Amino acid sequence: MAIQLEVLSAGMDPAPTVVINGRRASLGRGAHCDVRIPDPSVSSLHASIIKRGNNYLLTDEGSQFGTGVGTSAQPVWLAPDSPRVLSCGEHIWLGQIELRVRLVEPQRGAQDGLEDLARTLVHAGLSAAGLNPTSELVERTLVELTELPDEEIPLPPPEDPSPLRVGVADLFDEDKHPPWKTDLFIAGLALLVTSGCALLYFHLTSLS
């Protein structure tokens, strides 16, 4: 069996999916990860999935905003380096990003979707924000999200049962979050959830 992950938080129908055929896969925002999730709440190296026998084990790799797993809207947050066996139909939370697990039969020659996932998510986010997702803008946004230091991301901790309720205005409120002292563009991401459906929202600003 192979493991398939559906990105439910992308706000797309059908949801983007990736298939993990190997015995180990890393999940995170970094360019080195097998499954790249370009979201500020996802750490550079967030979690890993390892196949042992017929089981797939999910492990948090010391992420900033936590790794959750469960079958309801109230995930169980994992302690770092404490593997948990995944079951078909369960949901995984990487920070604010929700995935669904499927166990599928591997298909010879089928595309696994790993290479295109990050760009697909960025493209969807920019479109949802009303921006024109040109190739240049998608690549620039992806680079900036990849390079964001984990410790500089002003998002609530995973202990909050509703961590997704962050408004776009709050992200740019200088009283709550001072502007970043950098010459790079910054990418702000707000993920809004209503009745179990999520919309990925990107907006870029330029700081002088």
For residue 60, give both structure tokens: 């948090």
Say which residue, 32 or 164, is predicted with more confidence.
32
Q: What is the mean pLDDT of residues 36-65?
A: 95
Domain extent at residue 34 = 2-104
Is residue 151, in this structure, part of any structural domain at all?
A: yes
Residue linked to tokens 């896969």: 25
On whether both 7 and 94 belong to a single domain, the answer is: yes
On whether both 132 and 200 belong to a single domain, the answer is: yes
pLDDT at 185 over 80: no
pLDDT at 205 over 60: no
Is residue 110, in this structure, part of any structural domain at all?
A: no
Structural domain tally of the chain? 2
Distance CA 83, CA 71 (A): 17
Pairing of strands 67-70, 47-52: unpaired
On whether both 47 and 138 belong to a single domain, the answer is: no
On whether both 70 and 143 belong to a single domain, the answer is: no
On whether both 7 and 71 belong to a single domain, the answer is: yes
For residue 144, give both structure tokens: 């900036």
The per-residue pLDDT of the chain, averaged, comes to: 78
Quote the pLDDT of residue 189.
Answer: 37
Pairing of strands 24-28, 35-36: parallel
Is residue 161, in this structure, part of any structural domain at all?
A: yes
Is residue 160, in this structure, part of any structural domain at all?
A: yes
Render pLDDT for 108-154 as a digit per residue (tens, 0 to 9). 767 889 999 999 999 999 999 999 999 999 999 999 999 988 876 65
On whether both 93 and 155 belong to a single domain, the answer is: no
Question: What's the Cα-to-Cα distance from 84 to each of 16, 17, 68, 152, rounded to whole Å?
Answer: 24, 21, 10, 29
Is there a cis peptide before residue 14, judged by omega within 30 degrees of 0? Answer: yes
**CB pairs under 8 A, 24+ apart, for 155-160?**
155/40, 155/41, 155/65, 155/95, 155/96, 157/65, 157/66, 158/65, 158/66, 158/68, 158/77, 158/93, 158/95, 159/77
Is residue 111, in this structure, part of any structural domain at all?
A: no
Is residue 93, in this structure, part of any structural domain at all?
A: yes
Distance linking the first and last C-alpha atoms of the chain? 51
Is residue 153, in this structure, part of any structural domain at all?
A: yes
On whether both 13 and 100 belong to a single domain, the answer is: yes
Q: Which of 104, 133, 159 is the last residue of a domain?
A: 104
Q: What is the CATH number of the domain that holds 90?
A: 2.60.200.20
On whether both 90 and 123 belong to a single domain, the answer is: no
φ, ψ (nearest 5 deg) of residue 160: -70, 120
Is residue 196, in this structure, part of any structural domain at all?
A: yes
Closest CA to 198 of 16, 4, 25: 16
